[in-house]
Amino acid sequence: MDAGQCNDADSAVQIASALAKAFNVEVNELPLSLIISWYEQKAVCVLLALLHLGSKGIRLGPSLPAFLTPKTRETVERNHIVQVLEQTWWKVSGKNSAAEILGLNRSTLRAHMRKFDIRKP
């Protein structure tokens, strides 16, 4: 689903939600991809909202917008991983684990945890 500009992202999310309800599945179970143009700073707000809603399979690219610095991207990525780990009570692998929710293999998740110095409190 090509949302074009950020202003259309809300409509795309509403359509995906309606489809999920109609098919009695979760949004992440639908065979959809949401494509948003990254030429506006409000795209960051859309990205953060999608992450907060638990959207999976989010890909940025083909290149990052100039206002999304590597440090900002790392902060968003780190915070998202921590949020999912907390949501799963720090269950890294297995059914309903952080790795499963993030769509990562457990060794990849552990590598990210080392990279970002994420430790269970």
- pLDDT > 90? residue 87: yes
Q: Could you tell me the pLDDT band of residue 56, with boundaries at 50, 70 and 90? A: confident
Q: 61-92 b/e with 16+ CB inside 10 Å = b?
A: eeeeeeebeeeeeeebebebbbebbeebeebb
Q: Where are the domains of the chain?
A: 1-63, 69-121
pLDDT at 70: 84
- pLDDT > 70? residue 45: yes
Query: Within 13 Å and on the Cβ side, how many CA atoms surround 23?
Result: 12
Q: Determine the average pLDDT of the residues in 37-45.
A: 68
Does residue 48 or residue 70 have the better pLDDT?
Answer: 70
pLDDT at 38: 63
Average pLDDT, rounded, for the chain: 83
pLDDT at 30: 85
